[in-house]
Amino acid sequence: MKHFTSGLIFRVTIVIVLLTGSLSMRADEGMWLPYLLNRLTYTDMQAQGLQLTQEELFSMNNSSLKDAIILFGRGCTGEIVSDQGLIFTNHHCGYGSIQQVSSVGSDFLTDGFWARSFKEEIPIHGLTVQFLDHLEVVTDEVLKGIKPGMTDEIRHNTIEENKQRIVNRAIEKTTFNAVVKEFYSGNEFILFVYQTYRDVRLVGTPPSSVGKFGADTDNWMWPRHTGDFSIFRVYVDQNGRPASYHPDNIPMKPKHYLPINAGGVKKGDFAMIMGYPGSTDRYLTSWGVNLAINQTNPTIVDIRRQKLDIWGQDMAASDEVRIKYASKYAGVANYWKYFIGQTKGLKRLKVAEKKVELENKFGIWSKSDTSLFSKYGNVRQLFHDGYDELEKVNIIGIYTREAIRGTEILSLAARARNLLENLNGTVKPEINMPDPQKDLLKEFKQTAEDHFKNYNRPTDEKILAAMLHAYYNGVPAVQHPEWLTNAVKKYKGDFKKMATDIFAKSMFASQEKIIEFLRKPSAKAIAKDPAYICVAAFYNQQYVYKDQIISANEKISKARRLFMAGLREMDKNKIFYPDANQTMRLTYGTVQDYYPADAIHYEYFTTHKGILEKEDPTNYEFVVPAKLKDLLLKKDFGPWGEGDVLKTCFLTNHDITGGNSGSPVLNGKGELLGLAFDGNWEAMSGDIAFEPELQRTINVDIRYVLFIIDKYAGAQRIIDELKIVR
């Protein structure tokens, strides 16, 4: 490891020197790479209240804060909070896992769950957590062989080959997995190496009436009163190594875990968040903003609204359907509302207009010198041409993804394509696959089992009819596949009958028919299946526009890379933080209130009183469990109250995005104050444009978490496991 770190130190020093300059942006803006904190950023954090050294924040040689922060599942953050591998994350991050082990007889979504011993902790199939082990700046190696004038395709292929070689080197003869991530639109690259743990078990969760209190109505809104947390644990084998589930596995002994500070927060307190934000696009141009406002966002919103209405009706009519579709519904609903808010925010804050100002400035600067013009003079034209091309094929791409692929029967049928090609001999077996057909059959059998576990055929039949109709109305007629045109004529525009016939005749509508097919598989059976014919028609139609899509994206990608390089060259004294890309980031700021509109003030915290005020027994979103209501009315808060109130949530001015869900909110000593779980409605444009006066992070107060664990659940074993300070 010393050999590795010595090479890294040299490269990191270069990056730090490049980033060091006048701190020209607000301290609360930016998702910083904690291992590349420049001197002025760290000094600013100290001035606000940070008490940890940079080595205590992030170290690859010694235990540090980073060793308690995990990538939870496929898109959330979690934190280790005990010396026995206990994990805190959001309830909505654990929601899919909780749903997976729930049933009508053991409905943990509705009733909650609290393991009374290690033996009662429930293994979650497929759930993983990843710890960042080390990293390396590999820009030079990734760009090796890249030459001026190289076509975008050759450039891309060269970079991908270099990245794969770097990853292979990093994980050879180890249990690690690794990925090379790009930064600044492909101008810099860093290798991240992780250790993945596959035995993760559910320890505790409040009922959804606590963990999702307010549900869709309160989503993205403030004030909030949601106990958005769930608890898991990492297990390892008897030698402390990552392992798949085994009853003899033992709780993990982490390198670092977070103490919990139950002293509360007040306005102006320093706080920081470390986690894995998924994606931002802060350097998006006006062309991209306008495409989002005018085409992409409203299209997605319309399609998802139709799906949510159908799912919601069937879920309300059946507990079995409700449990099966709970996680699917929550996932679609979350970003349905997000896209509505983002569009409103982008318009209200005139983000496109502000982007135009920067682009004009860039254009003037690029013309100020011959050498600059030779590098950057064509950037704005590339953006214009790329987005002009993309706009013409964007709609068909959205409908194929959201409506066609978003229909479960068609999604399953599409996943049979590799098997079909193998069965009819149109693809050669992969190297090192002695029996690819057997492997593909086994893989598809598992795919089908997973598919039907949380599936309701009547619901999906309604979805198929609605989505075919939506595609027909939403996509220009000249871009319709011939199959759709003929089907509409055949069924005289009756999409319900169209869907009914597909379900009646397709093996992909029935687990029994899939099992029967797998006993005697044939390419003909797949190729003649009506669901496969349907989905193949839509996929093939999108493929017609492949070259146009590739051309548009190549122009935009090249323009983004040059634009980002030019911005950094144009304003050398500005610190340009990289966009989020699901790598570990640190954001810092303070506990703050805000003014969302004229004459309206929002306090920085909420209390138990709001739970009682919002209670509505006739609305599932605002049901308050009887035991919780009794505790709140009696003000039986235990040691977790503050005088005669129990604080539930609080606000900070942190810069976060999706993926930060479950991230720890920490004080200057690295002690846990709460869990980040949402952003506020007024700043939904934040992934594209940070607005410091409006942008707030919504966090569940750790004292409310402890109150639910202690007083509501009576889970003393969990309380005893934590290191709690005040």
Of the candidates 653, 645, 638, the residue with the CA atom closest to the CA atom of residue 699: 653
Cis-peptide into 223, omega within 30 deg: yes
Q: Could you give the CA distance from residue 625 to residue 640 in angstroms, rounded to a whole number? A: 19
Measured in degrees and rounded to the nearest 5, phi and psi for residue 279 equal: -160, 130
Tokens of residue 605, six digits: 């915290």
Is 494 annotated in the active site?
A: no
Sort strands 177-183 and 76-80 into parallel, antiparallel or unpaired: unpaired
Query: What 3-state class would DSSP assign to 425?
Result: coil
Amino acid at 519: R
Is 228 annotated in the active site?
A: yes
Identified catalytic residue from 228, 269, 579, 655? 228
Sort strands 188-197 and 724-725 into parallel, antiparallel or unpaired: unpaired
Element (H, E) at 201: strand 199-205
User: Residue 122's beta-bridge partner residues?
Assistant: 202
Query: What 3-state class would DSSP assign to 269?
Result: coil
Please check whether residue 200 is in contact with residue 124, taking contact to mean a CB–CB distance below 8 angstroms.
yes
Kindly tell me the sign of the dihedral angle through the C-alpha atoms of 632, 636, 641, 643.
Answer: positive
Query: What 3-state class would DSSP assign to 560?
Result: helix
Q: Could you give the CA distance from residue 292 to residue 687 in angstroms, rounded to a whole number? A: 12
First to last CA, the chain: 38
Please check whether residue 618 is in contact with residue 703, taking contact to mean a CB–CB distance below 8 angstroms.
no
Please check whether residue 667 is in contact with residue 616, taking contact to mean a CB–CB distance below 8 angstroms.
no
Q: Could you give the CA distance from residue 312 to residue 307 in angstroms, rounded to a whole number? A: 8
Amino acid at 128: T
Tokens of residue 464, six digits: 């198929």
Identified catalytic residue from 102, 209, 661, 685? 661
Of the candidates 118, 124, 96, the residue with the CA atom closest to the CA atom of residue 202: 124
Q: Could you give the CA distance from residue 326 to residue 322 in angstroms, rounded to a whole number? A: 6
Provide the H-helix boundaries in 91-151. Answer: 91-100, 108-111, 139-142
Please check whether residue 234 is in contact with residue 124, taking contact to mean a CB–CB distance below 8 angstroms.
no
Q: Could you give the CA distance from residue 119 to residue 15 in angstroms, rounded to a whole number? A: 48
Contacts of 261 by beta carbon, 8 Å cutoff, 6+ apart: 667, 669, 671, 672, 673, 702, 724, 725, 726
Please check whether residue 532 is in contact with residue 255, taking contact to mean a CB–CB distance below 8 angstroms.
no
DSSP-derived letter for residue 639 is G
Measured in degrees and rounded to the nearest 5, phi and psi for residue 3 equal: -60, -45
Is 501 annotated in the active site?
A: no
Q: Could you give the CA distance from residue 209 to residue 718 in angstroms, rounded to a whole number? A: 21
Contacts of 650 by beta carbon, 8 Å cutoff, 6+ apart: 265, 591, 604, 605, 606, 674, 699, 701
Tokens of residue 399, six digits: 């409908």
Q: Could you give the CA distance from residue 505 to residue 494 in angstroms, rounded to a whole number? A: 17
Query: What 3-state class would DSSP assign to 174?
Result: coil
Give the number of other CB atoms < 10 A from CB of residue 330.
Answer: 18
Q: What angle do CA 643, 645, 647 make, to 5 degrees?
A: 115
Identified catalytic residue from 28, 64, 92, 529? 92
Tokens of residue 19, six digits: 């980033």
Tokens of residue 296, six digits: 């992409």
Q: Could you give the CA distance from residue 701 to residue 605 in angstroms, rounded to a whole number? A: 9
Q: How far is CA 212 from CA 29, 90, 225, 448, 706, in A?
A: 28, 10, 9, 30, 17
Could you list the active site residues?
92, 228, 661
